[in-house]
Amino acid sequence: MPQNETILSLAPIRGITDAAYRRTFARCFGGFDHAVAPFIQLRQGHTLRSGERLQMSVENKRDLRMIPQVLTNNAATFTAGLRELHELGHDEVDWNLGCPYPTVAGRSRGAGLLPHPGRIDAILEQVLDGCPVRLSVKLRLGYRNPDELFSVIEVLNRYPLSEVILHPRTADQMYGGAVDIQRAVHARKLCRHPFVFNGDINTPEEFCELRTRLPGVDRWMIGRGALACPFLPAVLKGARFPEAEKRRRQLREFHDLLMGEYRHWLSGPAHLQDKMKEHWAYLALSFAEPGPVLARIRDSRNLEVYTSAVDWSFEQVLK
Ligand SMILES: Cc1cc2nc3c(=O)[nH]c(=O)nc-3n(C[C@H](O)[C@H](O)[C@H](O)COP(=O)(O)O)c2cc1C
């Protein structure tokens, strides 16, 4: 299924798709053209934290082009953040208008700004005046009302944006329930910017169906589907799905390289193990029976036990 014109981006998944993950993914599997990094919450009157600067350093976009993402509802803070990211070597930044968590959205940030197109308009007008980077926007259908998107798109159409990424759920839906393809089709027709569809692309079959239902869309963002099956993006670009033994070797190599990256980034075995356990929420989905794999990994109390749980897991039947 060669899809040469298809542009694929790795979705930001906070806690998972950090610099170490993106680099290791690009080395082991490929398929993505770029990635949007998990959001940085900009703080009024403050520069980025040192850990954030490290994550955003240009070095960390060598293997896979990375677009930083920011979360803010304050134009001055936004402008300062964009300047800082530009100084770090970035030429494009994404604005998060989709985060659904009440601590964020409840304070009119992320998806919480979607009911307020006037505020979005005022922020963009200030921020894009002399802006040193290109700006994209990642958004949902709405906070509670799935039609909020349409007034927001009218606003976005007035500004020079690099792309608009839509995850067609409301914030209330979080990450469950059906994605609303009909509203996505409508949004794509209204939107004058390059349009990216994001949500529930988990298999080549689902992707084929989406391509039929969203004709003309050539930009796609994939999150959980690629975390659960890291071979997916390359397969969507035309590669063959590797046979089981090759998959097992590649997944093991990915795991070991990722752990090597974190040894470098994180201090101490407890942090290392905790971080790897987070990744197993998705890695386990490569196995026919994820439950026992996950239980064994999560039960491991030290690195030695963890390592033998990993060895045991990679002997289990793959999906
Ligand atoms: C644990 C988790 C963390 C996420 N973090 C971010 C984030 O930092 N920024 C963002 O725009 N979206 C974030 N998302 C949303 C994803 O980028 C994506 O829009 C969503 O998972 C739907 O796409 P998918 O079905 O391909 O995963 C997150 C989703 C999950 C489940």
Could you give the C-alpha distances from 155 to 108, 123, 137, 218, in angstroms and in order? 17, 11, 12, 23
Question: Could you give the angle at which helices 204-213 and 181-190 cross, rounded to 10 degrees?
Answer: 50
Is 115 close to ligand 1, i.e. is its CB under 6 Å away?
A: no
**3-state SS, residue 197:** strand
Q: Which residues pair with 266 in a beta bridge?
A: none
What is the CA(308)–ligand 1 centre distance, in A? 31
Is 138 close to ligand 1, i.e. is its CB under 6 Å away?
A: yes
Is 169 close to ligand 1, i.e. is its CB under 6 Å away?
A: no
What is the CA(145)–ligand 1 centre distance, in A? 20
What is the CA(16)–ligand 1 centre distance, in A? 10
Question: Could you give the angle at which helices 303-313 and 290-299 cross, rounded to 10 degrees?
Answer: 170
Which pLDDT value is given to residue 288? Answer: 97
Pair of tokens at residue 127: 């921020």
Q: What are phi and psi of 135, to 5 degrees?
A: -120, 135
In sequence order, what are the residues at sequence separation of 6 or more whose Cβ sits closer than 8 angstroms to the Cβ of residue 170? 100, 111, 140, 141, 142, 143, 144, 145, 146
Is 222 close to ligand 1, i.e. is its CB under 6 Å away?
A: yes
pLDDT, block means (10 residues), the chain with 319 residues: 76 97 96 97 96 85 89 98 96 98 96 98 98 98 98 98 98 96 98 98 97 96 98 98 97 98 93 97 97 98 96 97
Pair of tokens at residue 248: 């097992």
CA 68 to chain centre: 10
End-to-end alpha-carbon separation of the chain, Å?
A: 21
Q: Are strands 34-41 and 164-170 parallel, antiparallel or unpaired?
A: unpaired
DSSP 8-class letter at 8: E
Which pLDDT value is given to residue 2? Answer: 45
Q: What are phi and psi of 162, to 5 degrees?
A: -80, -35
Is 219 close to ligand 1, i.e. is its CB under 6 Å away?
A: no
Pair of tokens at residue 25: 């993914």
DSSP 8-class letter at 287: B
In sequence order, what are the residues at sequence separation of 6 or more whose Cβ sits closer than 8 angstroms to the Cβ of residue 287? 293, 313, 316, 317, 318, 319
Name residue 105's amino acid. A
Is 18 close to ligand 1, i.e. is its CB under 6 Å away?
A: no
